[in-house]
């Protein structure tokens, strides 16, 4: 067994992870990035529409962006954090452009914008409809340029702590050999992405399995507002694949089976560009009341014309044709709300610091909180690069204050035993895939667009039953090299633990706010629930507590679009 040591270890190599890595390198740290897939396979790839920023140099107002983010969050976002994000957005975008992102231009050769949901002004910068991919590949180019150390296709199984409880490294499986390694560090940044695969279907890739949330939770770092799970209004029926909000930003309609633009009933001012939670609920209401077809309503781009679709929306044009046999220029595309994004996550401050010493988090796995109850489209990419950079800088500065890392090499034994148990246990007909599917369906039924007590309790019970099944799970593949069967079993453990925190947070929040809409408590209740749900792992299971929402300028108001 080799033991590795670095100042800062970043887990995850999506936008937040790579941005953090570059920032920590720049700050003079010895940094390593650990990722279970090659960096350019990360799920940041799938972000299509763009990234928001108020470029004040050309007259936009970052406070307007901040206000719209606060309103979008249904007043659950922390306003100091939102101000930080929106104020730093312009510089962050320009920095990405300087690194090489080929943002679309206007006629003068300056950065061009498009409109996005929940905002009055066009301030979404983009690379056609492959913005995430274009940014991800450019950050990887910078990682190559910096000659950064990357442990590629290594899967982190746990965080290790010293005697005082500070996080001082990780244990990881090198997938190519099956070997377990200890990587010591003075600080660890988690940037592992969201929780998509807890749900079935989901827009998320198969690798999005709540690893970071579970790793942090296991060492006592609380997770926050996990019940705030975003359903994206436009996902394909069969496999849940995303059709970007940029389609509506460019002017696409949502219509029901009668051809009516039904959003006029639900959001007469913003129409199709209302906040995502509002649009998803509107669609689900149309479907529930019989004005859908086959569980779907339609995204209609026909009036936009072939040329616009082929240049600005070429990727979704390809996807619609590949997976739904729909030519967007000719036919409306059947779509429905689908699991997309986790607003909640590991509780951090604006420097990325969690409540456990030495542990930082950034990107979708973190909750700063800038998205509150509902994230605005194109704010997620912004979150990753602003708070990724901040986490990298602050973790690097913190690491400089630590002289020595005291971890006995024996910390490996716990993970080794767990893996040995999974490998030795006789494999039955029960597989990680079957348990995951049951979990995904339970979550998608009980903790979805419309929720109620009975449904959420049923989901919680299902998750707890599945955890019992998980205890007796064995893996079929007994090999050492690239054993994905084993990795899926480990990921499933992470997912089940995280799913429970989502159910508990949702049951405890007896109001409707943002993406959390309860038919049994349909009103927002600022008096009792203008606060963050915090779930911490206790000796006898999860413990729920609350923490206040930071309000700076914008007092909660009735939210309408």
Partner 1 sequence: MRVTLDIGRFNPDAPNAKPYRQEFTLEVEDYYTVLDGLIRIREYEDPTLTVRCSCRASICGSCAMRINGHASLGCKTKIINVISKDGRVRVDPVGNMAPVKDLVWDMAPFWDKIRAVQPYLQPEGPEPQDEYIAPAEAMQHLVGVMGCIMCGACVSDCTVMEVDKNFLGPAALAKAYRFVGDPRDGAVKDRLKALNEYTGIWDCTRCMECVQACPKGVAPMDRIMALRDKAIVSGLHNTNGARHAEAFADLVKKNGVLDELRLVPRTYGMFNLMNMNAMFAAIPVGWRALTHGKLPPIIPHKLHGKENQDAVQHIYDKVEGHKP
Q: Which residues are catalytic?
A: 276
- Min dist CB 57 to partner 1, Å, is 6
- Min dist CB 335 to partner 1, Å, is 14
Indicate the residue among 98 and 426 with the shorter CB distance to partner 1: 98
Indicate the residue among 47 and 183 with the shorter CB distance to partner 1: 47
Asked if residues 328 and 306 have their Cβ atoms less than 8 Å apart, the reply is no
Helix or strand or coil: residue 300? strand
Residue at token pair 């690379």: 127
- Min dist CB 475 to partner 1, Å, is 7
Query: Distance between CA atoms of 351 and 263, rounded to whole angstroms?
Result: 39
Helix or strand or coil: residue 154? strand
Query: Distance between CA atoms of 459 and 449, rounded to whole angstroms?
Result: 14
- Min dist CB 133 to partner 1, Å, is 6
Query: Distance between CA atoms of 196 and 203, rounded to whole angstroms?
Result: 7
Indicate the residue among 331 and 531 with the shorter CB distance to partner 1: 331
Structure tokens given for 520: 């049994």
- Min dist CB 88 to partner 1, Å, is 16
The residues near 511 (Cβ < 8 Å, ≥ 6 apart) are 518, 521, 523, 524, 525, 528, 529
- Min dist CB 215 to partner 1, Å, is 19
- Min dist CB 89 to partner 1, Å, is 14
211: left (phi over 0), alpha (psi -120 to 50) or beta: alpha
Indicate the residue among 407 and 439 with the shorter CB distance to partner 1: 439
Count CA atoms within 13 Å of residue 76 on its CB side. 33
Helix or strand or coil: residue 157? strand
Count of beta carbons in the 10 Å neighbourhood of residue 414:
13
Asked if residues 143 and 150 have their Cβ atoms less than 8 Å apart, the reply is yes
Indicate the residue among 43 and 532 with the shorter CB distance to partner 1: 43
Query: Distance between CA atoms of 122 and 125, rounded to whole angstroms?
Result: 9
DSSP strand pairing (345-347 vs 366-367): parallel
Count CA atoms within 13 Å of residue 180 on its CB side. 18
SS (H, E, C) 541-554: EEEEEEEECCCCCC
DSSP strand pairing (333-342 vs 229-236): antiparallel
Indicate the residue among 2 and 481 with the shorter CB distance to partner 1: 481
The residues near 413 (Cβ < 8 Å, ≥ 6 apart) are none
Indicate the residue among 112 and 556 with the shorter CB distance to partner 1: 112
113 phi and psi angles, rounded to 5 deg: -125, 165
Indicate the residue among 239 and 288 with the shorter CB distance to partner 1: 239
Residues in touch with partner 1 (CB under 8 A): 37-38, 40-43, 45-46, 57, 94, 97-100, 102-112, 127-128, 130, 133-134, 137-138, 141-142, 144-145, 176, 205-207, 238-239, 241-242, 311, 315, 318-319, 322-323, 325, 427, 431-434, 437, 475-485
Residue among 389, 392, 384, 339 nearest 366 (CA): 384
Residue among 264, 261, 207, 257 nearest 46 (CA): 207
- Min dist CB 275 to partner 1, Å, is 24
Query: Distance between CA atoms of 247 and 328, rounded to whole angstroms?
Result: 10
- Min dist CB 450 to partner 1, Å, is 27
Structure tokens given for 559: 């939210």
The residues near 156 (Cβ < 8 Å, ≥ 6 apart) are 11, 34, 36, 170, 171, 172, 211, 215
Indicate the residue among 244 and 512 with the shorter CB distance to partner 1: 244
Query: Distance between CA atoms of 156 and 11, rounded to whole angstroms?
Result: 8
Asked if residues 261 and 253 have their Cβ atoms less than 8 Å apart, the reply is yes
Indicate the residue among 462 and 489 with the shorter CB distance to partner 1: 489
């Amino acid at each position: 067994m080799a033991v590795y040591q670095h100042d800062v270890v970043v887990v995850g190599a999506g936008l937040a992870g790579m941005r953090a890595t570059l920032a920590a390198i720049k700050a003079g740290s010895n940094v390593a990035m650990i990722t279970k897939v090659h960096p350019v396979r990360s799920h940041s790839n799938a972000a299509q529409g763009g990234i928001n920023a108020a470029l004040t140099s050309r007259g936009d107002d970052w406070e307007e962006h901040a206000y719209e983010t606060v309103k979008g969050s249904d007043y659950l976002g922390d306003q100091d954090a939102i101000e930080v994000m929106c104020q730093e957005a312009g510089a962050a975008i320009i920095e990405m452009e300087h690194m090489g992102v080929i943002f679309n231009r206007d006629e003068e050769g300056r950065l061009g914008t498009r409109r996005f949901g929940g905002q009055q002004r066009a301030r979404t910068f983009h690379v056609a409809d492959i913005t995430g991919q274009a940014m991800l590949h450019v950050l990887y180019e910078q990682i190559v340029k910096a000659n950064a150390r990357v442990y590629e296709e290594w899967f982190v199984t746990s965080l290790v702590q010293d005697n005082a409880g500070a996080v001082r490294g990780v244990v990881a499986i090198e997938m190519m050999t099956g070997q377990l390694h200890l990587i010591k560090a003075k600080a660890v940044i988690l940037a592992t992405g969201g929780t998509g695969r807890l749900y079935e279907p989901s827009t998320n890739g198969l690798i999005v399995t709540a690893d970071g949330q579970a790793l942090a939770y296991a060492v006592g770092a609380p997770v926050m507002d996990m019940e705030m799970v975003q359903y994206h209004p436009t996902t394909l029926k069969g496999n849940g694949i995303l059709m970007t909000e940029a389609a509506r930003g460019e002017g696409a309609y949502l219509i029901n089976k009668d051809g009516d633009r039904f959003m006029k009933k639900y959001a007469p001012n913003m129409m199709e560009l209302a906040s995502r939670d509002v649009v998803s609920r509107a669609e689900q209401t149309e479907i529930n009341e019989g004005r859908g077809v086959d569980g779907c309503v339609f995204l209609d781009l026909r009036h936009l014309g072939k040329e616009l679709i082929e240049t600005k929306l070429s990727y979704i044009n390809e996807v619609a044709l590949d997976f739904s046999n729909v030519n967007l220029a000719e036919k409306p595309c059947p779509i429905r709300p689908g699991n997309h994004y986790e607003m909640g996550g590991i509780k951090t401050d604006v420097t990325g610091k969690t409540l456990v010493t030495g542990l930082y988090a950034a990107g979708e796995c973190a909750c700063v909180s800038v998205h509150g109850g509902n994230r605005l489209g194109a704010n997620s990419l912004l979150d990753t690069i602003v708070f990724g950079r901040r986490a990298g800088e602050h973790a690097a500065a913190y690491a400089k204050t630590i002289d020595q890392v005291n971890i006995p090499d024996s910390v490996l034994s716990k993970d080794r035993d767990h893996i040995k148990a999974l490998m030795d246990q006789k494999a039955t007909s029960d597989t990680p895939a079957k348990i995951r599917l049951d979990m995904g369906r339970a979550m998608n039924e009980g903790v979805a667009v419309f929720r109620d007590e009975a449904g959420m309790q049923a989901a919680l019970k299902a998750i707890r039953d599945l955890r019992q099944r998980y205890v007796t799970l064995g893996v079929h593949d007994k090999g050492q090299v690239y054993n994905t069967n084993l990795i899926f079993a480990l990921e499933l453990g992470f997912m089940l633990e995280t799913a429970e925190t989502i159910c508990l947070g949702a049951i405890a929040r007896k109001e409707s706010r943002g993406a959390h809409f309860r038919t049994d408590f349909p009103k927002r209740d600022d008096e009792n629930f203008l606060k963050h749900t915090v779930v911490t792992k206790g000796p006898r299971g999860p413990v729920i507590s609350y923490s206040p929402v930071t309000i700076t300028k914008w007092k909660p108001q009735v939210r309408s679009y």
